[in-house]
Amino acid sequence: MSRHRNVRGYNYDEDFEDDDMYGQSVEDDYCISPATGRLYSCLDQMRAVLGDSIPDSTLTQAALKYDCDPQRALDFILTEENTNTHAPPASESRVEAEVVPKVARMTVSGKKQTMGFDVRSAEENGVVVPSVRRGPSPEVTAAPTTETPSKPSAVNEDSAAPTPTRPAGKSKQQLNIRAELEKRQGGKPLLNLVVIGHVDAGKSTLMGHLLYLLGNVNKRTMHKYEQEAKKAGKASFAYAWVLDETGEERDRGVTMDVGMTKFETDSKVITLMDAPGHKDFIPNMITGAAQADVAVLVVDASRGEFEAGFEAGGQTREHGLLVRSLGVTQLAVAVNKMDQVNWQQERFQEIISKLGHFLKQAGFKDSDVFYIPTSGLSGENLTTRSKVADLTAWYTGPCLLEQIDAFKPPQRSVEKPFRLCVSDVFKDQGSGFCVTGKIEAGFIQTGDKVLAMPPNETCTVKGITLHDEALDWAAAGDHVSLTVTGMDIIKINVGCIFCDPKEPIRACTRFRARILLFNIEVPVTQGFPVLLHYQTVSEPATIRKLVSVLHKSSGEVLKKKPKCLSKGQNAVVEIQTQRPVALELYKDYKELGRFMLRYVGSTIAAGVVTEVKGSTYIHLFSRNTFLFCINQHFLILHHEDVLIVNTANVYTVLDQRVRTSLNWILQKKNWPKPLERSAIPPQSYTNIK
């Protein structure tokens, strides 16, 4: 009965809500002509070689132009792409033309006007325009402008709404960056200051109290810090909490990362970086020191504490060597906690004599090193000259703030191509993501296209923030936060360098450098493993070759191909990294040409880049497959592997058919041997065209 009820209650209409197509053949309903079949066959063969990097419309046009002959059509497309890639118009970025197979164009009043990626599009004027247009557009939506066209129905050249406000190649020339800098800062130059010293020397307390006395921290906030520090049993750490904002730093009582803030003196704008003093956080300290123009070295005047930080194992020596090796030439030595020794002149002179001899050996000039007795906890001699009788009896020099204000600002490389070292990457609330870092050279404006190396990806700058203030531009020396779009955040890491696409920075895995060895216990030999610290990069590396030993002062070659290097020697070596690193030569960019080498927790050498060996990036059709060249060997690498090329023009395709495609290209270009598995035999294919 139960089955009978199921049959009776079954709704047969549910099975036939759509038309019943069973038993009917549809094979003959959709036949195609022989010409269309030839076209589809030709397109399939072309896609087998080129993959999906070329638009279907371009493939179809090429196939129809050559009567569906795949060989002739492929020759035409590859030749056209090669021409467009390496001979772009002057108004377009060379690198952008290589990335995008087809240049974006838009038609204005019957005349084609080429717009590359370096121009400000109509989107910035309120019109949403696709970032890549694959063909000429017959219609252009007019954006609201200050000038009304004389003929609304027909847009002419003089009043065209999409005309960029900053044409490519001319935008940066229109901005007088020197004048704009003076206007923005009110005549005050920018100075990047890093505070260094041994752990527990009082760096954070000293600078936190300085900021409070300058009014950068209000009384309500300071009272809050004092109450929280008392509850935690660390009442003396209240001023340090101004810069140590994370819970872990406050719990442990040590600075772990570089804290950054801003204050002003009578004649300068200071970007303050509070570096960690513990030896476990030396990599973070190097990151801060690499971005500094001047430094304040804080030493503890207490009996035994100065000696602990200055002798072997202390960080006072290492910090002094690091900042000098990274280009800092002006140094203020804050002899802190002088109140604990009753402001004794003898103790002050004892510290000066020991420290002065070492700093002179490190490369500091006596005229560029200044000593100031201070007390971070009581605030004596920080912002105003102390009136303590025990101090004024023998010290008549400036206070710490006066000495910081007396530092000479460096010359900024604002005329050089744009360079920014990424120190942090995070997701923003809106579209895109944010990167922070210091602009080492050039300047950037909202709407500019930038190239990220080594990822070799381009993106658009949508916003610029400097000290929580939105700006339209920023220049060399600024610590900025850029909001960028057009790139995946997972491709950007700390240590990447954003650069001008027209003049990109070079990326390599092997370079030659001149190094100065410090006090090392183990001699450096060929194959010696080190940790390379370059700007914000920390990368494992190996010393692959010992080229020569040089004279320290004259640079004369004393010995070629030494077996090992010992402490104090000056040498030329070749260093190889595990992953590509974007580098600049020291002679071109002093800020970007310095690096440090560490081994087993100790800094063993400082160096400058003198030569990038052979390998540099170029832009290819596909983002997933690249051609790699080293020692005249070309290798195919996919996805996230090392992606480096040493040629002027290279054809490449998607990774599914890499060998087949490159074999076809090699045969078409009459090169001697086809690609075998993953490498071309070591003939010198240095000009693949």
Q: Is the pLDDT of residue 380 over 50?
A: yes
User: CA 685, CA 655: separation in Å to the nearest integer?
Assistant: 21
What pLDDT is attached to residue 2? 56
What pLDDT is attached to residue 369? 94
Q: Is the pLDDT of residue 649 over 60?
A: no
What pLDDT is attached to residue 200? 86
CATH entry 1.10.150.120 includes domain 39-86: no
Q: How confident is the model at residue 541 (pLDDT cuts 50, 70, 90)?
A: very high
Provide the sign of the torsion angle of the four alpha carbons 39, 44, 50, 53, taken in this order: positive
Q: How confident is the model at residue 408 (pLDDT cuts 50, 70, 90)?
A: very high
At residue 167, what is the residue type? P
Q: How far is CA 492 from CA 83, 422, 451, 488, 595, in A?
A: 30, 9, 11, 8, 21
Which range (107-116, 214-223, 409-418, 543-552) has the least confidence?
107-116
Q: How confident is the model at residue 664 (pLDDT cuts 50, 70, 90)?
A: low
DSSP 380-401: BTSSS----HHHHTT--S--HH
pLDDT averaged over every residue in the chain: 75
Q: Span 170-183, mean pLDDT?
A: 65
Contacts of 592 (CB under 8 A, 6+ apart): 419, 421, 440, 441, 497, 505, 535, 583, 584
User: CA 399, CA 380: separation in Å to the nearest integer?
Assistant: 9
Which range (112-126, 328-342, 489-503, 585-599) has the least confidence?
112-126
Tokens of 618: 């170029």
Superfamily holding 190-406:
P-loop containing nucleotide triphosphate hydrolases (3.40.50.300)
User: CA 636, CA 634: separation in Å to the nearest integer?
Assistant: 7
Q: Is the pLDDT of residue 405 over 90?
A: yes
DSSP 322-364: HHHHTT--EEEEEEE-GGGGTT-HHHHHHHHHHHHHHHHHHT-
User: CA 619, CA 146: separation in Å to the nearest integer?
Assistant: 39
What pLDDT is attached to residue 548? 93
What pLDDT is attached to residue 155? 34
615 burial (CB, 10 Å; 0-12 / 13-18 / 19+) is: buried
Portion of the chain with pLDDT greater than 90, in percent: 33
Exposure letters 35-58 (e unless 16+ CB within 10 A, then b): eeeebeebbebbbbbbbebbeeeb
What pLDDT is attached to residue 641? 37
What pLDDT is attached to residue 544? 93
Beta bridge partner(s), residue 264: 269
CATH code at 419-499: 2.40.30.10
Provide the sign of the torsion angle of the four alpha carbons 619, 620, 623, 626, taken in this order: negative
What pLDDT is attached to residue 368? 93
Q: How many residues does the chain have?
A: 689
Q: Is the pLDDT of residue 113 over 50?
A: no
Q: How confident is the model at residue 498 (pLDDT cuts 50, 70, 90)?
A: very high
Q: Span 449-456, mean pLDDT?
A: 91
> Within the chain, which residue ranges are assigned CATH 2.40.30.10?
419-499, 506-612
Contacts of 521 (CB under 8 A, 6+ apart): none
Q: How confident is the model at residue 614 (pLDDT cuts 50, 70, 90)?
A: low
Assign domain 506-612 one CATH number from 3.40.50.620, 2.40.160.40, 2.40.30.10, 3.40.120.10. Answer: 2.40.30.10
The candidate with the shortest Cα–Cα distance to 62, out of 48, 88, 42, 90, is 42
What pLDDT is attached to residue 110? 36
Do the Cβ atoms of 644 and 619 come closer than 8 Å?
no
Which range (172-176, 266-270, 331-335, 639-643) has the least confidence?
639-643
- Ranges 92-106, 181-195, 310-324, 576-590, most confident: 576-590
Taking only the tens place, the pLDDT of each residue in 226-283 is: 898 888 888 888 888 888 878 888 888 788 888 888 899 988 889 999 888 888 888 8
Q: How confident is the model at residue 546 (pLDDT cuts 50, 70, 90)?
A: very high
State the helix-helix crossing angle for 34-50 and 70-86, rounded to 10 degrees: 50
At residue 252, what is the residue type? R
Q: Is the pLDDT of residue 637 over 50?
A: no
User: CA 71, CA 348: separation in Å to the nearest integer?
Assistant: 83
> Within the chain, which residue ranges are assigned CATH 3.40.50.300?
190-406
Phi, psi of 332, deg, nearest 5: -110, 125
What pLDDT is attached to residue 171? 44
User: CA 440, CA 499: separation in Å to the nearest integer?
Assistant: 10
Q: Which residue has the higher pLDDT, 25 or 498?
A: 498
**526: three-class secondary structure by DSSP:** coil
pTM: predicted TM-score of the whole model, two decimal places: 0.64
If one counts every other C-beta atom within 10 angstroms of the C-beta of residue 468, the result is 7
Q: How far is CA 500 from CA 98, 275, 439, 496, 686, in A?
A: 14, 30, 12, 13, 25
Taking only the tens place, the pLDDT of each residue in 5-56 is: 666 666 655 554 445 555 554 444 445 778 888 888 888 888 777 766 677 7
Q: Span 617-645, mean pLDDT?
A: 40
What pLDDT is attached to residue 517? 93
Contacts of 141 (CB under 8 A, 6+ apart): 122, 127, 161
Q: Is the pLDDT of residue 299 over 90?
A: yes
Tokens of 432: 């895109």
